[in-house]
C-alpha cells in the first residue's frame, strides 16, 4: 500500500511537474523542463517507467522478495532522480543562449532542481521505506536493513563528492560561497546543543518546581508560554543594550560585585531560614520571593557568562588546528566508554577479569582529562596573554550582538517544551511509587534522581526532541544578531530571493534536525529502563 | 593523596593553556545589514582595512537597520555603511532641540552635513565620505514594456497613468503608505494611483516586488525597486529616472565610532577615496555580480578594488 | 516495641486525623489498625516512620522517641509495604528488593545473598524472575515482591498498609497464609492497616479499632468479637461475629473427649452398653489395635445384625471426621453437611480423639473471654 503510494507520487511528479529549471543566471526565473520533455535517449522514459514499477510490485505475494524488489527500486529511484536530470542539465547549459529570448543576461547559468525531483525523491524514499517494512516483517536483521536503506544515500553522497551533481544550482552556490558553510553548520550545531543543555537544566528545574508547588505551577507554565510568543527580533532588541553594558564591564570589578551580590543573597537566605518559622505567613511568602529574586540575579549572570564563554571555548576547541589530535583522542575515549560498560555487562567481564571494574573507567578518565585540557587550551586561546585588570566581560563572549543574545534567546525558546514535558512527566508518576520510595528511606534528592527522573525520562526526552527540532529552526534567526549559523545563508537568501542560497542553509539544517532527532531517539532507547519502555 | 595529584595536574593544564596564546590588539569590527548591497559595502570596508594592515573582525550580515545601529551606538561594532536618508528619517526624531528641515531629505549635501554633525554631537559617531550613489526607492518596469510604452522616467510614467494606461504596481506596504513613498512621487509628478492599482505585499522588500514583476504574477507591470539593485540587471528591468528628486537621497556612507577613528585616523584616508568612487553604476555592477552571477561577495569586491587600484594584488 | 503516647495529628484547618491515641504494640506481634475510611488508621501508621509528623504526643520505638532519628535513617530501619505495592517499575525485581540494603550501603555480595533468600522466602524464584521488571509479574507476584522488599534489610519493625489489597480474594487468602508462615519465622513487630474485618481477625494478634481518629477498642480478635465495647464496635465486627469467632477456635480446644466409641471386635452387648452409658443412638467404631477411626454403628442396626462387623457402617475417616487442628468453623460445616449430632475428631494419624457437637459450639461462642482457655490454632 505504501509502496503503491510512493510509486504514484514519483510517477505523478515525473509526468506532470518539471524536474529541472534551466536558469540563465542566479536570480532570474528559469525554463521549466519536464522529465519526458528532455530530448535525446530512452533513459528518461525508463526512469518514468521505473517509477511505475512499485504499482505492480505492491501486488507481489512473497513478502521477502517484494521487500528486496522495493528496496532496489527505491534506491535506484533516489539515485537516478538526481543523476539523470543532472546529465540532461549539463546538456542544456551548453547551448543555454539559444533557450532564452534576446537581451536576457546569461551569466553563470545553472540548473535548479524543481518539483519533479522533489516528488521523485519523496516517492523513492517512500518505496524504499515500504520495502524496509516488508523486510522487517520477513525477518531481515537490523544491520541488513540499515545497509539496504543507506545504499541510495551513500551513492548520492559519492556523486556529490565526485562532482557529478555540480551542475545543480545549490552546488554552484556551494562552490561560490560555501567556504563558510562548514563553520556556520558547526555554529548551528553548537548553538542548538548549548541552548538545549542550558534549557534542559533550567527546564528541569522549573518543571520540578511547577510539579511540586501548586501556587507556582500556573505562573511558571504561563510564563514559559508567554516567552514563546515574543518575536525573536523583539527579544534581541531587549537583550542588546543590557548585554552591551555588561560586555563593557571589567571582569575584575564585575567579579567583585558578583561576589558581593552572591554574599548578600546567601546571607539573606540564611537569615530567612533562621527566621522562617517565626514569621507570619504573608511575610514569609513575601521574603521567600524576595530572597529568590535576589539569588536569581547572580545566578543568571553566572549562567550567561558560563554559557557565552562556553560557546566561544567550544567553538575554538572545535576549530583550532593545533588541537586536532587531542580532540580526536577525547572523542574516541567518549565513544569507547559506553562500549566498555556494555561489553562488561554483556560478557560479565567484571567477574572474569580481576581489574575490569576499575579498567572500564579508564576511557572516562582519559575523556575527562582530555576534555579538561581542551577546555583549558580553548580558554587560553581566547583570554591568554591579557592583563587581568584589562579583561572585560566582552572578552568572555558576552556582548550585545553575537553569541550571547542568540544563546539566551534560544535557551528561552527551548523552555516551553522542556518545562512542560518535565512537569507532565513528573506529575504523571504514580504517587504510590514516590510514597513507597520515601517510606523506604530515600532522601528527597535520591528520590528525584533515582526514581522520579528515570520514570519521567521518556516524557522529558520527548520534550528534548521537540525542543531540539524547533531549535534547529529557530537557530537560523540568530543570524540577524550577528551570531552566524546557517541563518547567514537562509536570511540573506530570503532578502535577495535567492533560492539557491536559501537551500544552501536549509538542507544542512534539515539534515541536522533529522539526525538530531534520530540520535536523541537512540539515546532515549539506551537510557530508558526496559521496565518502562513503551512496547 | 591521589586527589591532590589530580588537582595539581588540572592546575598545570590550565596554567599551560594561558601561556600559549598571544596578545591581541582590539580589532576593528565591521558590520553590515543583511542584504546584498550591504554585504558588498561591508566587504569593501573589510578588504580595504585588511589591505592596509589593520586587524579586522568581519561581523557583516548582521540583521536589520535597528540591530546595526544599536550595535554601533553600544560599541558592539565599530563601523558599517549607513544611508544618509535612513539616518535622517529614523535617528534624530527624538532630539528635542533640532527639527530636521524638509528640504534636507532631497538634498545630498545638506542631508549629509546634518546627519554627520548631529551624530558627531550626540553619539560620537563619524560619517566618512559619502558615495555619489543613491540607493533610493524607484519604479521598475520590464525592458520590453518600457520600449513598448516609451517609459524611461517618472515623467513618462505620469503621462502613461494620466492617459489611462493599465497599472498594477507591486509594492511593500510601507512604501505604499509612507508620505515620502508613492505619495511623494504622485505629488511631484502629478498623477494619482488608486488602491486597486496597487498590489500591496506586506513587509515586502524590493527583491520580492521585483520577483513579482519578473514572474508577471497577477498582471503586475510596475514594481517598487531599489535604484542600485543588482537584480534589475538580471531581470532585464528598466528603472524609471527621478529627475525632480521626489525621493530623498540615500547615499551609502561608512559610519565609524569616534573612539576608533581617533585611534586609527588612517582609516579615513583608506575608505574615503573608495567610497567616492562608488557611483550608482559601480554599485549596481557589484550587486549584480554577487546577486545575479552568484560570485562570492568578498571575491567580487576584491576584484573591483584591485581593478580600481585601491588595493594591491 | 512501638508505643503511641497521647498522639494527636491536627491539620492546619483544625481537622484531627488522629485524636489522643494511646497504643502499645508488643515485640513480635501483629497489631492490626482497622476502622472505616477516614478513621485515621493510615495516618497513625505513617506517623510511625514520620511520613507524617506528629502534632502532639510522641511515638516511642523501643522506648526511644522516633523524632530523635533523621527521617531517612528511621525509615531505612522500618519495613514499609503499601497497597499499591509501589514497586519501582524501572528497576528489576532484584534491584527492587535490594533498595533498602543499597541505601544502607551493604556490600553487593551480601545484598545478592539477602535478595535471593528473601525472594525464595516469598515464593518467587530469583533465577527465573529476579531480572524481570515488575510489569512482567502478576499482581500476586508483585505483592510478594513488595513483602520481600519490606523485609529487605531485616528491619525489626514493619508497617503494612493494606499490603494485600490489590489482588483478588483467592490470591489474597493465599498471600495472607503465606505471610503468617513467614511471620512465624521472622517474628517482626508489625503494624498492619486494613479495612477488612476478616483479614484483621485472621492476621492480627491484636486489633485496634479506630473511629474518627479515636481508639474505640484494642483487644485480641477473639475478645473483640466476643465483647464489642459499644454499638459502633458491634456493628463494625458484624452480625456474623459469632461465626467469625468460630474461625478463632480450634477443634482440639472445643471438642469433647468423652464420646460414644467401641472397638471393632466388641460384641453387640458391649456396644449396647456403651450406647446406654452415653444416652446416644450411635457410636464410633475404632480399630482395636491402633485406635484409628473405622466407621460408626447405629442403635437401630444392632437389632437386625448378628455382629458389630455386620451392623457398623464403614467410612473413610477423612470424609466424616474433622482433624484436630481444623477450626471450629470447619467442624460446623462438617456437622451441617452430614447432619450428625456429633462429628468425630481425629489426630494426624487418624486416631479418634474426641467429638464436636452443634450444642457444644453454640455454648462456646456465647461464652465471653474464652481466649484465656483456648489458644488460637496458630499457637506460639
Q: For residues C156 and C61, is the Cβ–Cβ distance under 8 A?
A: no
Residue A381: list chain B partners with CB under 8 A. Answer: 17, 20-21
With CB atoms and an 8 Å threshold, state whether A380 touches B17: yes
Query: B117-154, pLDDT tens digit by residue?
Result: 999 999 999 999 999 999 888 999 999 999 999 999 99
* A385/B13 touch (CB, cutoff 8 Å), yes or no: no
The CATH number assigned to the domain with range B137-239 reads 3.40.190.120
Chain B window 64-93: which residues touch A at a Cβ cutoff of 8 Å?
64, 66-67, 70-71, 74-77
**For residues A241 and A235, what is the distance between their CA atoms, to the nearest angstrom?**
11
Q: Taking CA C80 as the corner, what is the angle to CA C77 and CA C81, rounded to the nearest 5 degrees?
A: 160
Residue C366's pLDDT is what? 65
Residue from the list A430, A437, A529 with its beta carbon closest to the beta carbon of C84: A430
The answer to whether the Cβ–Cβ distance between A432 and C82 falls below 8 Å is yes
CA C206/CA A482 separation, integer angstroms: 77
How many CB atoms are located within 10 Å of the residue A392 CB? 19
3-class DSSP state of C61: strand
β-bridge mates for residue B253, sequence order: B82
Q: Flag whether A touches C (3+ CB pairs, 8 A cutoff).
A: yes
Rounded to 5 degrees, φ, ψ at A442 are: -70, 135
Nearest-by-CA chain C residue for A436: C86
Residues of A in contact with C166 (CB under 8 A): none
B32 CA to centre of own chain? 8
> Chain A contact for B150, CB < 8 A?
no
CB of A501 closer than 8 Å to CB of A489: yes
pTM of the model: 0.76
Per the CB < 8 Å rule, is A435 touching C100? no
For chain B, percent of residues with pLDDT exceeding 70: 92
Task: Name the residue among B61, B71, B292 with its Cβ closest to that of A26.
Answer: B292
pLDDT at C379: 39
CB of A292 within 8 Å of a chain C CB? The answer is no
Contact status of A433 with chain C (Cβ, < 8 Å): yes
Say if the Cβ atoms of A433 and C88 lie within 8 Å: yes
Better-scored residue on pLDDT, B25 or C78: C78
Chain segment B4-58, per-residue pLDDT in tens: 555 555 555 555 444 443 334 578 999 999 888 999 999 999 999 999 999 999 9
Task: Give the rounded percent of residues in chain A with a pLDDT score beyond 70.
Answer: 97
Q: Are the beta carbons of C90 and A433 separated by less than 8 Å?
A: no
Q: Does A231 touch chain C (CB under 8 A)?
A: no
Instruction: Report CB contact under 8 Å: A240, B70.
Output: yes
Are the beta carbons of A443 and C72 separated by less than 8 Å?
A: yes
Q: Which CATH class is domain B28-134+249-307?
A: alpha beta
Nearest to A313, CA basis, from A367, A391, A374, A368? A374
CB distance from B285 to chain A under 8 Å?
Answer: no
- Which chains share 3+ C-beta pairs under 8 angstroms with B? A
Touch between chain B and chain A (3+ CB pairs, < 8 Å)?
A: yes
| Per-residue pLDDT reduced to its tens digit, C325-376 | 777 777 777 777 776 678 888 888 888 888 888 777 777 766 554 443 444 4
Grid coordinates representing A185? Answer: 553548520
Residues B39, A492: C-beta atoms closer than 8 Å: yes
C85 contacts A441? CB cut-off 8 A: no
* Greater model confidence, A282 or B250: B250
Q: What is the DSSP letter of C256?
A: B
The chain C residue lying nearest A453, using CA atoms, is C90
For residue C351, give every residue at least 6 positions away whose Cβ sits within 8 Å of its Cβ, in sequence order, or none: C286, C290, C291, C292, C293
Which member of A29, A105, A240 has the closest CB to residue B74?
A240
Q: Which string of b and e fits A517-535 if b means at least 16 CB within 10 Å?
A: eeebeeebeeebbebbeee
Q: Percentage of chain B with pLDDT > 90?
A: 53
Looking at domain C2-248, its CATH architecture is 3-Layer(aba) Sandwich (3.40)
Compare CB distances from A495 to B10, B34, B74 and report the shortest one's residue: B34
Does position C36 have pLDDT exceeding 80, yes or no?
Answer: yes
- Looking at residues C198-209, what average pLDDT do you find? 88
CA distance linking residue A500 with residue A27, whole number of Å: 9
Question: What are the distances in angstroms from CA A404 to CA A119, A192, C98, C347?
Answer: 41, 13, 47, 89
Instruction: Work out the minimum CA distance from A85 to partner chain B, whole angstroms.
Output: 22
Closest residue, chain A, to C150 (C-alpha): A440
Interface test with B, best of A23, A241, A401, A406 (most B CBs within 10 A): A401
Digit-coded pLDDT (tens) for A421-440: 999 999 999 888 888 898 99
Q: What is the DSSP letter of C368?
A: T
Q: Chain C: residue nearest A533 by CA?
A: C90
Query: Residue with C-alpha cell 503510494?
Result: A5
Picking from A172, A401, A496, the nearest residue to B35 by CB comes out as A496
Phi, psi of C183 (to 5 degrees): -60, -35
How far apart CA A38 and CA A116 sit, in angstroms, is 13
Give the closest of B13, B67, B231 to A372, CB-based: B13
Are the C-beta atoms of B225 and B241 separated by less than 8 Å? Answer: no
* Chain A interface includes B235 (CB < 8 A): yes
Mutation choice for B interface testing from A326, A400, A482, A499 by most B CBs within 10 A? A482
Q: Check CB contact under 8 Å for C89 and A437.
A: no
CB-based contact A240 B294, cutoff 8 Å: no
To the nearest whole angstrom, how far is the Cα of B42 from the nearest Cα of chain A?
A: 13
Contact with chain C for residue A280, Cβ under 8 A: no
Residues of chain A with pLDDT under 50: none
| CATH fold label, C252-366 | CBS-domain (3.10.580)
Higher pLDDT, B3 or C248: C248
> In the 3-class helix/strand/coil scheme, how is chain B assigned residue by residue?
CHHHHHHHHHHHHHHHHHHHCCCCCCCEEEECCCCHHHHHHHHHHHHHHHHCCCCEEEECCCCCHHHHHHHHHCCCCCEEEEEHHHHHHHCCCCCCCCCCCHHHCCCHHHHHHHHHHHHHHHHCEEECCCCCCCCCEEEEEEHHHHHHHCCCEHHHHHHHHHCCCCCCEEEEHHHHHCCCCHHHHHHHHCCCCCHHHEEEECCCCHHHHHHHHHHCHHHCCEEEEECCCCHHHHHCEEECECCCCCCCCCCEEEEEEHHHHHHCCHHHHHHHHHHHCCCHHHHHHHHHHHHCCCCCHHHHHHHHHHHCCCCCC
pLDDT, position A209:
85
Domains B28-134+249-307 and B137-239 share a fold: yes
- Nearest chain A Cα to B216, which residue? A29
Domain assignments of chain C as residue spans, ordered by start? 2-248, 252-366
Q: What value does the mean pLDDT take over residues C204-210? A: 90
Q: Give A-chain residues touching C84 at CB under 8 angstroms.
A: 430, 432-433, 436
Spatial separation of the C-alpha atoms in residues B282 and B40, rounded to whole Å: 11
> Which residues contact residue B4 at a Cβ distance below 8 angstroms, ignoring those fewer than 6 apart?
none
Residues C89, A441: C-beta atoms closer than 8 Å: no
The sign of the dihedral angle between the CA atoms of A174, A180, A183, A187 is negative
User: What would the mean pLDDT of B80-87 be, rounded to a whole number?
Assistant: 94
Q: How far is CA A153 from CA A88, A485, A489, B173, C327, in A?
A: 21, 25, 24, 45, 78
CB contacts, 8 Å: A496 with chain B? 35-36, 207, 231, 291
Q: Please tell me the distance in Å from A389's CA to the nearest CA on chain B.
A: 14
In this predicted structure, the answer to whether residue B255 has a pLDDT above a threshold of 50 is yes
Q: Given this model, what pLDDT does residue A277 score?
A: 66
Determine contact: B2 vs chain A, CB below 8 A: no
- The CA distance from B80 to the nearest CA of chain A, in Å, is 13
Burial of B286 (0-12, 13-18, 19+ CB in 10 A): buried
Q: Is B296 on the interface with A (CB under 8 A)?
A: yes
Neighbours of C289 (CB within 10 A): 9
- What CA–CA distance (Å, rounded) separates B262 from C179? 91
pLDDT tens, residue by residue, C230-262? 888 888 877 666 667 777 777 777 788 788 888
Domain limits, chain B: 28-134+249-307, 137-239
pLDDT at C378 over 70: no
Scanning every residue of chain A, which has its alpha carbon at the shortest distance from the alpha carbon of C151? A440
Mean pLDDT in residue range B90-100? 88
Rounded CA separation B9/B23 (Å): 25
Q: Which three cell numbers stand for residue A92?
A: 542544456
The pLDDT of C27-54, averaged and rounded, is 89
**Tally of residues, chain B:** 313
ipTM (interface predicted TM) = 0.78
The residue among A358, A218, A216 whose CA lies nearest residue A289 is A216
* pLDDT at res. C339: 64
* Best CA proximity match to A438, nearest among C32, C159, C148: C159
Give the N- to C-terminal CA distance of chain B in Å, as an integer.
62
Alpha carbons B80 and B50: distance in angstroms, whole number: 15
What domains lie within chain A, and their CATH numbers? 2-174 (no CATH), 181-249+397-527 (1.10.3720.10)
DSSP code at position A525? H
Disruptive mutation site among C86, C103, C105 for chain A (greatest number of A CBs within 10 Å):
C86
Kindly report the nearest CA distance between residue C374 and chain A, in angstroms. Answer: 38
Query: In 3D, which of A23, A12, A6 has the Cα closest to residue A73?
Result: A6
CB-CB contact of B222 with B237 (8 Å) = no
In the stretch 311-350 of chain A, residues with CB closer than 8 A to chain B read none
**Whether the Cβ atoms of residue C30 and residue C159 lie closer than 8 Å to each other:** no
Amino acid at each position: 500500500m505504501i509502496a503503491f503510494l510512493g510509486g504514484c507520487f514519483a510517477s505523478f511528479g515525473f509526468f506532470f511537474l518539471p524536474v529541472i529549471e534551466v536558469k540563465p543566471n542566479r536570480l532570474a526565473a528559469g525554463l521549466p523542463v519536464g522529465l519526458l520533455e528532455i530530448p535525446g535517449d530512452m533513459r528518461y522514459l525508463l526512469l518514468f517507467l521505473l517509477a511505475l514499477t512499485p504499482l505492480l510490485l505492491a501486488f507481489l505475494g512473497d513478502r521477502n522478495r517484494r521487500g528486496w524488489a522495493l528496496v532496489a527500486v527505491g534506491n535506484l529511484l533516489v539515485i537516478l532522480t538526481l543523476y539523470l536530470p543532472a546529465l540532461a542539465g549539463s546538456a542544456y547549459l551548453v547551448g543555454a543562449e539559444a533557450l532564452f529570448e534576446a537581451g536576457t543576461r546569461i551569466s553563470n547559468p545553472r540548473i535548479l532542481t524543481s518539483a519533479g525531483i522533489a516528488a521523485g525523491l519523496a516517492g523513492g524514499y517512500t518505496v524504499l521505506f515500504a520495502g524496509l517494512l516488508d523486510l522487517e516483517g520477513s525477518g531481515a536483521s537490523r544491520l541488513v536493513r540499515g545497509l539496504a536503506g543507506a545504499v541510495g544515500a551513500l551513492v548520492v553522497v559519492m556523486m556529490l563528492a565526485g562532482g557529478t551533481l555540480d551542475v545543480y544550482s545549490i552546488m554552484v552556490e556551494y562552490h561560490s560561497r560555501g567556504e563558510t558553510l562548514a563553520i556556520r553548520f558547526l555554529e548551528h550545531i553548537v548553538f542548538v546543543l548549548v541552548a538545549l543543555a542550558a534549557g534542559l537544566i533550567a527546564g528541569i528545574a522549573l518543571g520540578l518546581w511547577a510539579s511540586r508547588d501548586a501556587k507556582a505551577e500556573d505562573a511558571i507554565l504561563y510564563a514559559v508560554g508567554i516567552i514563546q510568543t515574543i518575536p525573536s527580533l523583539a527579544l534581541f532588541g531587549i537583550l542588546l543594550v543590557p548585554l552591551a553594558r555588561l560586555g563593557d564591564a571589567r571582569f575584575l570589578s564585575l567579579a567583585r560585585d558578583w561576589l558581593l551580590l552572591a554574599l548578600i543573597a546567601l546571607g539573606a537566605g540564611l537569615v530567612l531560614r533562621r527566621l522562617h518559622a517565626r514569621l507570619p505567613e504573608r511575610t514569609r511568602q513575601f521574603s521567600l520571593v524576595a530572597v529568590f529574586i535576589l539569588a536569581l540575579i547572580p545566578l543568571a549572570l553566572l549562567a550567561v557568562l558560563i554559557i557565552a564563554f562556553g560557546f566561544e571555548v567550544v567553538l575554538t576547541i572545535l576549530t583550532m588546528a593545533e588541537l586536532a589530535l587531542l580532540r580526536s583522542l577525547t572523542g574516541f575515549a567518549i565513544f569507547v566508554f559506553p562500549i566498555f560498560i556494555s561489553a562488561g555487562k554483556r560478557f560479565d567481564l567484571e567477574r572474569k577479569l580481576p581489574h575490569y571494574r576499575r579498567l572500564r573507567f579508564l576511557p572516562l578518565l582519559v575523556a575527562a582529562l582530555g576534555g579538561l585540557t581542551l577546555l583549558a587550551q580553548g580558554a587560553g586561546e581566547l583570554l591568554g596573554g591579557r592583563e587581568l585588570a584589562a579583561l572585560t566581560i566582552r572578552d568572555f563572549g558576552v556582548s550585545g550582538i553575537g553569541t550571547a543574545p542568540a544563546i539566551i534567546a534560544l535557551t528561552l525558546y527551548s523552555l516551553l517544551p522542556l518545562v512542560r514535558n518535565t512537569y507532565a512527566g513528573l506529575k504523571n508518576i504514580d504517587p504510590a511509587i514516590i510514597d513507597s520510595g520515601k517510606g523506604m528511606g530515600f532522601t528527597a534528592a535520591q528520590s528525584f534522581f533515582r526514581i522520579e527522573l528515570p520514570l519521567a525520562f521518556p516524557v522529558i526526552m520527548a520534550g528534548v526532541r521537540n525542543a531540539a527540532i524547533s531549535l534547529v529552526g529557530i537557530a537560523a534567526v540568530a543570524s540577524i544578531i550577528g551570531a552566524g549559523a546557517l541563518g547567514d545563508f537562509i536570511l540573506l537568501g530570503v532578502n535577495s530571493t535567492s533560492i539557491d542560497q536559501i537551500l544552501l542553509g536549509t538542507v544542512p539544517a534539515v539534515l541536522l534536525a533529522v539526525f538530531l532527532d534520530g540520535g536523541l531517539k537512540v539515546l532515549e532507547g539506551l537510557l530508558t529502563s526496559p521496565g518502562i519502555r513503551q512496547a | 593523596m591521589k586527589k591532590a595529584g589530580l588537582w595539581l595536574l588540572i592546575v598545570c593544564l590550565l596554567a599551560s593553556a594561558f601561556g600559549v596564546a598571544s596578545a591581541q590588539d582590539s580589532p576593528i569590527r565591521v558590520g553590515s545589514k543583511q542584504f546584498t548591497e550591504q554585504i558588498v559595502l561591508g566587504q569593501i570596508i573589510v578588504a580595504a582595512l585588511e589591505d592596509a594592515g589593520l586587524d579586522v573582525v568581519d561581523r557583516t550580515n548582521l540583521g536589520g537597520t535597528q540591530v546595526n545601529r544599536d550595535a554601533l551606538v553600544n560599541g558592539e561594532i565599530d563601523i558599517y555603511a549607513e544611508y544618509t536618508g535612513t539616518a535622517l528619517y529614523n535617528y534624530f526624531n527624538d532630539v528635542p532641540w533640532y527639527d530636521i528641515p524638509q528640504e534636507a531629505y532631497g538634498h545630498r549635501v545638506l542631508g549629509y552635513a546634518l546627519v554627520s554633525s548631529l551624530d558627531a554631537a550626540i553619539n560620537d559617531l563619524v560619517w566618512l565620505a559619502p558615495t555619489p550613489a543613491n540607493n533610493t526607492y524607484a519604479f521598475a518596469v520590464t525592458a520590453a514594456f518600457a520600449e513598448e510604452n516609451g517609459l524611461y522616467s517618472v515623467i513618462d510614467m505620469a503621462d502613461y497613468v494620466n492617459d489611462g494606461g493599465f497599472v498594477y504596481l507591486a509594492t511593500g506596504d510601507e512604501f505604499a503608505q509612507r508620505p515620502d513613498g508613492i505619495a511623494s512621487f504622485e505629488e511631484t509628478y502629478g498623477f494619482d494611483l488608486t488602491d486597486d492599482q496597487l498590489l500591496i505585499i506586506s513587509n515586502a522588500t524590493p527583491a520580492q516586488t521585483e520577483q513579482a514583476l519578473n514572474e508577471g504574477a497577477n498582471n503586475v507591470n510596475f514594481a517598487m525597486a531599489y535604484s542600485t539593485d543588482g537584480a534589475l540587471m538580471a531581470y532585464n528591468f528598466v528603472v524609471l529616472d527621478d529627475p525632480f528628486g521626489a525621493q530623498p537621497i540615500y547615499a551609502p556612507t561608512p559610519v565609524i565610532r569616534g573612539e576608533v577613528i581617533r585611534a586609527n585616523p588612517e582609516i579615513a584616508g583608506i575608505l574615503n577615496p573608495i567610497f567616492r568612487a562608488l557611483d550608482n553604476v559601480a554599485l549596481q555592477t557589484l550587486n549584480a555580480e554577487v546577486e545575479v552571477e552568484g560570485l562570492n561577495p568578498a571575491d567580487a569586491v576584491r576584484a573591483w578594488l584591485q581593478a580600481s587600484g585601491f588595493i594591491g594584488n | 516495641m512501638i508505643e503511641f503516647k497521647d498522639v494527636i495529628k491536627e491539620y492546619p484547618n483544625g481537622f484531627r486525623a488522629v485524636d489522643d491515641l494511646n497504643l502499645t504494640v508488643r515485640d513480635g506481634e501483629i497489631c492490626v489498625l482497622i476502622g472505616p475510611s477516614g478513621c485515621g488508621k493510615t495516618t497513625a501508621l505513617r506517623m510511625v516512620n514520620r511520613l507524617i509528623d506528629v502534632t502532639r504526643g510522641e511515638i516511642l520505638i523501643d522506648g526511644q522517641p522516633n523524632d530523635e532519628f533523621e527521617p531517612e535513617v528511621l525509615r531505612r530501619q522500618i519495613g514499609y509495604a503499601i497497597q499499591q505495592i509501589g514497586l519501582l517499575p524501572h528497576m528489576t525485581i532484584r534491584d527492587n528488593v535490594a533498595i533498602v540494603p543499597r541505601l544502607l550501603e551493604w556490600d553487593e555480595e551480601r545484598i545478592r545473598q539477602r535478595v535471593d533468600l528473601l525472594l525464595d522466602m516469598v515464593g518467587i524464584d530469583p533465577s527465573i524472575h529476579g531480572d524481570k521488571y515488575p510489569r512482567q509479574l502478576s499482581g500476586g507476584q508483585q505483592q510478594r515482591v513488595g513483602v520481600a522488599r519490606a523485609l529487605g534489610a531485616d528491619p525489626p519493625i514493619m508497617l503494612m498498609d493494606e499490603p494485600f489489597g490489590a489482588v483478588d480474594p483467592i490470591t489474597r487468602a493465599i498471600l495472607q497464609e503465606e505471610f503468617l508462615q513467614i511471620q512465624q519465622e521472622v517474628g517482626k513487630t508489625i503494624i498492619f492497616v486494613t479495612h477488612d474485618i476478616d483479614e484483621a481477625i485472621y492476621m492480627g494478634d491484636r486489633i485496634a479499632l479506630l473511629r474518627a481518629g479515636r481508639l474505640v477498642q484494642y483487644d485480641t480478635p477473639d475478645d473483640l468479637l466476643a465483647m464489642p465495647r459499644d454499638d459502633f464496635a458491634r456493628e463494625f465486627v458484624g452480625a456474623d461475629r459469632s461465626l467469625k469467632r468460630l474461625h478463632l477456635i480450634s477443634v482440639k480446644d472445643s471438642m469433647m473427649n468423652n464420646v460414644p466409641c467401641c472397638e471393632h471386635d466388641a460384641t453387640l452387648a458391649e456396644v449396647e452398653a456403651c450406647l446406654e452409658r452415653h444416652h446416644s443412638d450411635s457410636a464410633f467404631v475404632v480399630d482395636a489395635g491402633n485406635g484409628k477411626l473405622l466407621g460408626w454403628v447405629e442403635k437401630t442396626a444392632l437389632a437386625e445384625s448378628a455382629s458389630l462387623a455386620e451392623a457398623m457402617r464403614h467410612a473413610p475417616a477423612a470424609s466424616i471426621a474433622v482433624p484436630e487442628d481444623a477450626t471450629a468453623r470447619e467442624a460446623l460445616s462438617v456437622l451441617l453437611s452430614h447432619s450428625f449430632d456429633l462429628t468425630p475428631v481425629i489426630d494426624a494419624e487418624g486416631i479418634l480423639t474426641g467429638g464436636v457437637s452443634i450444642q457444644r459450639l453454640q455454648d462456646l461462642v456465647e461464652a465471653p473471654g474464652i481466649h484465656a482457655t483456648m489458644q488460637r490454632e496458630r499457637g506460639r
